[in-house]
Amino acid sequence: MANNTKKRKVVIVGAGLVGMSYAYALMNRALCDELVLIDIDKKRAEGEAMDLNNGAAFCGATMRIFAGDYSDCHDADIVALSAGVAQRLGEGRENLLARNVEVFKSIIKPVVQSGFPGVFIVATNPVDVMSMLTLKLSGYEPNRVIGTGTLLDTARLRFLLGEYFTIDPRNIHAYVMGEHGNSEFVPWSLATLGAKPLTQVCSDSNEYAMDDLHGLGRDVVEMGQRIIEAKKATYYGIGMAMTRLTQAILGDEHSVLTVSAYLDGEYGQHDVYAGSPCVIGTNGVIEKVEISLNPSEALSMSNSCEYIRSLYSQISLHDLTVSPV
Ligand code: NAD
């Protein structure tokens, strides 16, 4: 695993818009020493590596970037999965499931067979279900499989709340939880501006109202489709979210991030991946920070997890299992 002497190595499987936005952000932040691009379209991965390498002279640190294959995962710290099909306008993330299951069946096995010792970051949609699939196909411990989950949605929410209150989004402590999709929800009872609950900020003011905040929560749910409507795809935000997650893993930061993690009793939920605040470090999910939801928020969490489980149950798992190494 990453330490001060070992080179920090990230492998990206799926060198499309999301994968390359992540790669570009990693390069600009000089977050790793070696970056490997894998894609079913090998020529595309080679072209992307050449293009990034053309920027090497302007980069703050030396970074080895190349198009590789699955054997390159054997000493990687992170394998990030952004391969597969993306949503089109008006299409739900759940529509991608069947096609992306086939994609993951072809990817996880050779990654595991390489002896990959690190942490999977899953971005492919529907991300909560694809994270569970990665867990089952790899046979790895749950802490080593992290979905980007509601990390992007949480960033979107904080941005909108920051604009609404004219406050630095980094001082807004609010989470989006549950599915990365329509059933996600915001536990408003726990959201704070600095240390002051947002419910109190609103009740103390004539300017701010909880109804407005609920509206912003709905905007977060619709944001992905609005971006797709305007420019056909979303990729910078998720690329930055993956970069933030990578920084927390490689730096063993123990940062609290809202990721899709395997729930094993937390929030009364079992055997499901869903967005919830977790402590992230070198070994992936170090701890799940179970927060106290009020009864209506707990119901939203339960409904969202039930929906994710129903999607996952559409996948037939027989003959998919790969023996852990
Ligand atoms: P894209 O089409 O630009 O890139 C996908 C890449 O995957 C392509 O280069 C393709 O050749 C490659 N690929 C396909 N099958 C493969 C296989 N079997 N092995 C290796 N590579 C394979 O798509 P994109 O816009 O980059 O989106 C990728 C995924 O990320 C989609 O599922 C999308 O829905 C998801 N996404 C997630 C979030 C999030 O918040 N989690 C946000 C945006 C997009």
Q: For 126-178, how does the pLDDT look when each residue is reduced to its tens digit (9 = 90+)? A: 999 999 999 999 999 999 999 999 999 999 999 999 999 999 999 999 999 99
Q: Kindly report, residue by residue over 272-319, the tens digit of the pLDDT.
A: 999 999 999 999 999 999 999 999 999 999 999 999 999 999 887 644
* Residue 86 pLDDT: 83
**Per-residue pLDDT averaged across 88-109, rounded?**
90
Task: Judge contact between 184 and 258, C-beta under 8 A.
Answer: no
The predicted pLDDT at position 317 comes to 62
**DSSP string of 179-221?**
-SSTT-B--GGG-EETTEEHHHHHHT-SS--HHHHHHHHHHHH
Residue 2 confidence (pLDDT) above 60: no
Q: Which one is predicted more confidently, 239 or 324?
A: 239
Query: Residue 217 Cα, ligand 1 centroid: separation in angstroms?
Result: 26
Is the predicted pLDDT of residue 323 greater than 60, yes or no?
no
Mutate to test the pocket of ligand 1, among 82, 128, 220, 227 (most ligand atoms within 8 A of CB): 82
pTM given for the model: 0.95
Q: Say how many Å lie between the CA of residue 70 and the centre of ligand 1.
A: 17
- Listing DSSP states for 38-69 in one string gives E-SSHHHHHHHHHHHHTTGGGSSS--EEEE--
By most ligand atoms within 8 Å of CB, the mutation choice from 13, 17, 18 for ligand 1 is: 18
Q: What are phi and psi of 247, to 5 degrees?
A: -60, -40
Are 249 and 119 spatial neighbours (Cβ–Cβ below 8 Å)? yes
- How do residues 194-251 score in pLDDT, each as one tens digit? 999 999 999 999 999 999 999 999 999 999 999 999 999 999 999 999 999 999 999 9
Q: Point out the ligand 1 atom lying closest to the alpha carbon of residue 19.
A: 26
Say how many Å lie between the CA of residue 295 and the centre of ligand 1: 37
* Of 70, 13, 71, nearest in space to 45 by CA: 13
Rg (CA), the chain: 19
Residue 320 — left, alpha, or beta (φ > 0 → left; ψ -120 to 50 → alpha)?
alpha
Q: Tens of pLDDT along 30-87?
A: 999 999 999 999 999 999 999 999 998 888 788 999 999 999 999 999 999 999 998 8
Query: Which residues line ligand 1 at a C-beta cut-off of 6 Å?
Result: 13-19, 39-41, 44, 82-87, 96, 100, 103, 106-107, 123-125, 127, 148, 152, 180, 233-235, 238
Q: Tokens 């600095």, residue? A: 194
| DSSP label at residue 226 | H
- C-alpha 251/C-alpha 159 separation (Å) is 25
DSSP 230-276: HHS---HHHHHHHHHHHHHHHTT--EEEEEEEEEESGGG-EEEEEEE
Q: Locate tokens 């932040």: which residue?
A: 29
Q: Strand, coil or helix: what is 308?
A: helix
Closest CA to 123 of 141, 139, 107: 107
Give me the pLDDT at residue 4, please.
52
Please name which of 52, 17, 301 lies closest in space to residue 177, comparing C-alpha atoms: 301
Distance between CA atoms of 230 and 16, rounded to whole angstroms? 19
Report the SS3 class of residue 75: helix
Residue 180 is among the residues annotated as catalytic for this protein: yes
- pLDDT at position 324, please? 43
